[in-house]
Amino acid sequence: MSNKHHESRDSQNEHGSEKAQAETHDNEELSRAPIAETTSGDAAAAAGSSGGEGKASVSRETELESQVRALTAELAKVREELSSVNDKYLRKLADDVNFRKRMAREKEDTLRFAVATLLGDLIPILDDFDRAIASAETARDYAILHDGIVLIRRQLGGMLENKYGLKRFESLGKPFDPNHHEAVAMISGEGDEATVAEEFLPGYGLNERILRTAKVKVMMPGVRQDESVARTGSGDVEDTGGAATAPTDIEQ
């Protein structure tokens, strides 16, 4: 009895132990299954991420290459435009230099030949003088020489006035004007203002400009008796003089 009882207990113990081992094995399998699934999922995700990054990198490189090509083309275009502008600037600079040189030559020629027209008009006057001199030497007649000189003077004055605007202005009897007259002598006389009493050299003007002032003698008005000033007071002397007498014919 006791042996059977012991054997039955041992078999039950063995059966329980096998059942416990089987349950432990199942639990381990269950615990390992999620870990495997998780590991495989992470690997797939990592592979997907790596593929996305590779595509993004390729796309970025392509975009950069496109930008580099565009910038290179733009730089070439800018260099071409700069070269064209530089050529235009150099041609313009050369034109300006040539223009300045040409203007300088023309100005020099103008200064050298400015009186060419006037001299050409004076040559016939010189011919007239030569003929008058020759005629006077032959005839020995003062009247012929005088008339010839008067004629040449009239011809020369008319040519200068009509063609060049040179005009002689009259001064005798006119009020003294320092812009037109130069006083080289002075006399005292009656009147209210200074007047040209005599003309030594005539004055000439070109259009509206005075070329030479006239050399004249000026008649200054005298101080009348009723214009004398009586000064009274300490240290003053009464002035009762008559008309002031200015020096006459003061030549310079």
For the ranges 93-107, 140-154, 167-181, 197-211, the lowest mean pLDDT is seen at 140-154
Q: Check whether 127 has a pLDDT greater than 70.
A: yes
| Residue 139 to residue 148: CA distance in whole angstroms | 13
DSSP calls for 126-186: HHHHHHHHHHHHHH--HHHHHHHHHHHHHHHHHHHHHHH-EEEE--TTSBP-TTTEEEEEE
**Spatial contact of 224 and 188, defined as CB atoms under 8 Å apart:** no
Close Cβ partners of 151 (under 8 Å, ≥ 6 residues apart): 128
Q: What is the pLDDT of residues 153-171, one digit of tens each?
A: 999 999 999 988 899 998 9
In tens, the pLDDT along 44-73 reads 555 555 556 667 787 888 888 889 999 999
* Residue range 198-220, pLDDT digits in tens: 999 999 999 889 999 999 999 99
| CA–CA separation, 172 and 33 (whole Å) | 143
Distances (CA, A) of 121 to 9, 127, 158: 166, 11, 12
Read off the pLDDT of each residue in 83-105 and give the average, rounded to a whole number.
Answer: 92
Q: How far apart are CA 207 and CA 181, in angstroms?
A: 17
Q: Which residues of 94-122 are buried (b: 16+ CB within 10 A; e: fewer)?
A: eeeeeeeeeeeeeeeeeeeeeeeeeeeee
Overall residue count recorded for the chain in this entry: 252
pLDDT above 90: residue 95: yes
Distance CA 72, CA 66 (A): 10
Output the pTM of the full model: 0.48
Confidence of residue 237 (pLDDT cuts 50, 70, 90): very low
Cα 142 to Cα 144: distance, rounded to the nearest angstrom: 5
C-alpha span between 152 and 124 (Å, rounded): 10
Domains and CATH numbers, the chain: 166-252 (2.30.22.10)
Give the three-class secondary structure for 109: helix
